[in-house]
Amino acid sequence: MNMMTKTVNRQLPGDADWWRGAVIYQIYPRSFQDTNGDGIGDLAGITRRLDYVAGLGVDAIWISPFFTSPMKDFGYDVSDYRDVDPMFGTLADFDELMARAHELGLRVMIDLVLSHTADVHPWFKESRSSRTNPKADWYVWADPKPDGTVPNNWPSVFGGPAWQWDGKRMQYYLHNFLASQPDLNFHNPDVQEALLDVARFWLERGVDGFRLDTINFYFHDKELRDNPPLPADDRNDSIAPKVNPYNWQEHIYSKNRPENLEFLRKLRALMNRYNAAAVGEVGDAQRGLEIMGQYTSGDDLMQMCYSFDFLAGSRLTAADIAAIFARLEAKAPDAWPCWAYSNHDMPRHISRWNLSDAAAKAYLTLLMCLRGSACIYQGEELGLPEADVAFEDLQDPYGIEFWPEFKGRDGCRTPMVWQRNNGTGGFTSSKPWLPVPSEHLARAVDVAEADTDGLLQHYRKMLAFRHRHPVLAKGDQFRMRANGDVLCFERTHEGQRVFVAVNLGNGEATVDAPDFGNATRGPIELGPWDASILVGE
């Protein structure tokens, strides 16, 4: 364990609300850039490619976990919160990354996994050693039922019961994910303080904020009551694949507990001392928008959260998006969302929604105009499709468990492609940890750079447009409506007004534009996957 705790004062100056409307670029470090030839990306590789990231025009980067870990869930099983896993480098490498990012004007957000640890974490080793040790209550332990079966009906997101038997303590422990990822007991104040110390460690190193993994999983019901069944008509596969019976429950006792709000207030108070911000991942298929509202309303909780509404399996239509915002307005009018179409857990939206480049441009234009912040996942600016990873190449335990009905998350985690004329896309000089699909090479960065009308240039253009018009980042939003395939809405901020119309369909369309001041405008003609943005006072 590296206990180095030097203070690094590298926060960027400027707006305390820098996060509001920010565009955040997600980097999955295993797959971004390898610099030491072991086939796995590293922190030095991120530093090497930061000029490219800054050139997109994003405001911040989110780096998926790089902490010391046995890597059974690829870093989301942490064994040391205060150090870098050797496969990714060292704390010195992280400091160099931070320094270069701030030189380029990029803020750095890191992925904190607070709900659970690895089963080899020293805390868990001590906790499982007896029922009387100082950390005996740091994890969620429960006696079996009289017949020896699990304490309740809670399932794991990754399949099977959420309880694992431990012969040393003669008790079950809770794991919402892999059995090697035991859940921490947030009802214990000492656990909360230990995790706040983890956040403080990285804030002292200069990070600008956090992405908070599974933010609604922190607390569990103390009474361990059974979750009720969920009617079949209410089930969806936004959190778990259809083949997983996790979808068959309403998870009101295993997560989403009201006690979480007080811990989030403590975390926000800590972050405020550093002008840091957080975006929480709300993993809930039924109440995601409502929970987002609870966790982001007011100025003493989280700044941003994202639910899974924009990560839907079927393509979002204009009517879908209008309905999502109507529900958000009804359930959580003060919420500040952070929208994303793709991430490291979901099939890439280019494939999920079967989008052409023209359609991908339209959806990006929409994302850059909607109220909220936005996340872009590495490679989506290139239009990378989901990779078809053969079973023998799979690394993800989730996919291996449910193959072949569900192939897991490896298809969106294959290496970033930088060069076309290179078998590994310029990612590594050796065999990559996941294969690089041949169809990705044709979309490598060096190819995209030469296409002046391509998707990469459209991302740069739209991010620059968003920066030129703060109304798109921070403004209010109103009068959203779906007119067939066209989504229309308006934004206002400090006297500036914007009208946005995006055609999310293959046909031509006509919409009426509002009058701005004394200017009278006629109908707007939109081609397939076309957009019109009117800026006025």
> How large a percentage of the chain has pLDDT more than 70?
96
Average pLDDT over residues 299-314: 93
pLDDT at 519: 58
Q: Which of 429, 445, 467 marks a domain boundary? A: 467
Region of poorest pLDDT, from 11-20, 34-43, 156-165:
11-20
Q: Is 289 helix (H, G, I), strand (E, B) or coil?
A: helix
Please give the pLDDT value at position 10. Answer: 43
pLDDT mean over 437-466: 98
> What distance in Å separates the CA atoms of residue 230 and residue 252, rounded to the nearest whole number?
11
Within a domain: 483:
yes
In this prediction, residue 357 carries a pLDDT of 98
- C-alpha–C-alpha distance, residues 139 and 172, integer Å: 10
**Using CB atoms within 10 A of its CB, is residue 507 exposed (0-12), middle (13-18) or buried (19+)?**
exposed
Give the domain CATH number at 496. Answer: 2.60.40.1180
The type of residue at 71 is M
Q: Could you give the count of Cα atoms lying within 13 Å of 400 in the half-sphere of its Cβ?
A: 9
Cα 120 to the center of its chain, rounded Å: 25
SS3 content of the chain, % helix, strand, coil (to 5): 30, 20, 50
- Burial code (b: 16+ CB inside 10 Å, e: under 16) for 433-457 equals bbbbbeebbebbbebbeeeeebbbb
Residue 5 domain-assigned? Answer: no
| φ and ψ of 178, to 5 deg | -70, 155
On whether both 222 and 244 belong to a single domain, the answer is: yes
Query: Which of 409, 443, 467 is a domain's end point?
Result: 467
The number of beta carbons lying within 10 Å of the beta carbon of residue 324 is: 20
Lowest mean pLDDT segment, chosen from 73-77, 212-216, 522-526: 522-526
What is the rounded distance in angstroms from the CA atom of residue 510 to the CA atom of residue 522? 10
Which residue among 34, 183, 213, 345 is the active-site one? Answer: 213
Q: In 69-95, which positions are buried (b, 16+ CB within 10 angstroms) versus exposed (e)?
A: bebbbbbbbbbbbbbbbebbbbeebbb
**213 a catalytic residue:** yes
Asked if 409 and 505 sit in the same domain, the reply is: no
Contact 294, 261 (CB under 8 A): yes
Query: Which two tokens mark 356?
Result: 């052409």
Strand order in the sheet with 486-493: 476-483, 486-493, 496-503, 531-536
Are 488 and 426 part of one and the same domain?
no
Contact present, 189 and 196 (Cβ < 8 Å): no
The residue-averaged pLDDT of 400-414 equals 93
Residues 497, 356, single domain; the answer is no
- Asked if 374 and 380 touch (Cβ cutoff 8 Å), the reply is no
Residues 262 and 357 in one domain: yes
Q: What's phi and psi for 449, nearest 5 deg?
A: -60, -30
Do 502 and 383 share a domain, yes or no? no
CATH (domain of 86)? 3.20.20.80
- DSSP string of 293-338, one letter each residue: HHHHSSSSS-SEEE-SGGG-SSPPPHHHHHHHHHHHHHH-TT--BE
Full residue range of the structural domain in which residue 480 is found: 476-536
Co-location of 450 and 525 in the same domain: no
Q: 490 with 454, same domain?
A: no
pLDDT computed for residue 517 by the predictor: 60
Among 131-140, 402-411, 436-445, 475-484, where is mean pLDDT lowest? 402-411
Element (H, E) at 28: none
Which residues lie across from 142 on neighbouring strands? 172
Any domain includes 368: yes
375/314 same-domain check: yes
- What is the number of structural domains in the chain? 2
Percent of the chain with pLDDT over 90: 88
Q: What would the mean pLDDT of 178-198 be, rounded to a whole number?
A: 98
What is the structure's pLDDT at 14? 67
Angle at the Cα of 65 from the Cα atoms of 396 and 236, rounded to 5 degrees: 50
283 assigned to some structural domain = yes
In-domain check, residue 165? no
Length of the chain: 537
pLDDT reported for residue 240 = 77
Q: Which of 407, 434, 467 is the last residue of a domain?
A: 467
Assess whether 421 and 481 both reside in one domain.
no
Residue 8 lies in a domain: no
In a shared domain, residues 420 and 337: yes
Say yes or no: 208 and 255 in one domain.
yes
Check 80, 93, 119, 281 and give the catalytic one: 281
The two structure tokens encoding residue 509: 């369309």
Q: Note the pLDDT tens digit of each residue in 354-385.
A: 999 999 999 999 999 999 999 999 999 999 99
Mean pLDDT of 67-88: 98
pLDDT of residue 234: 84
DSSP label of 126: H
| Rounded to 5°, angle at Cα 348 from 459 and 94 | 70
* Average pLDDT along the chain: 94
Q: DSSP string of 226-262?
A: PPPB--GGG--SSSS-TTSGGGGB--SSSS--TTHHH
Which range, of 24-28, 168-172, 232-236, 494-498, averages the lowest pLDDT? Answer: 232-236
158: in domain: no
pLDDT category of residue 238 using cuts at 50, 70 and 90: confident
300 flagged as catalytic: no
Residue 391: inside a domain: yes
- Among 469, 467, 373, smallest CA distance to 57 is for 467
Q: What does the pLDDT read at residue 520? A: 59
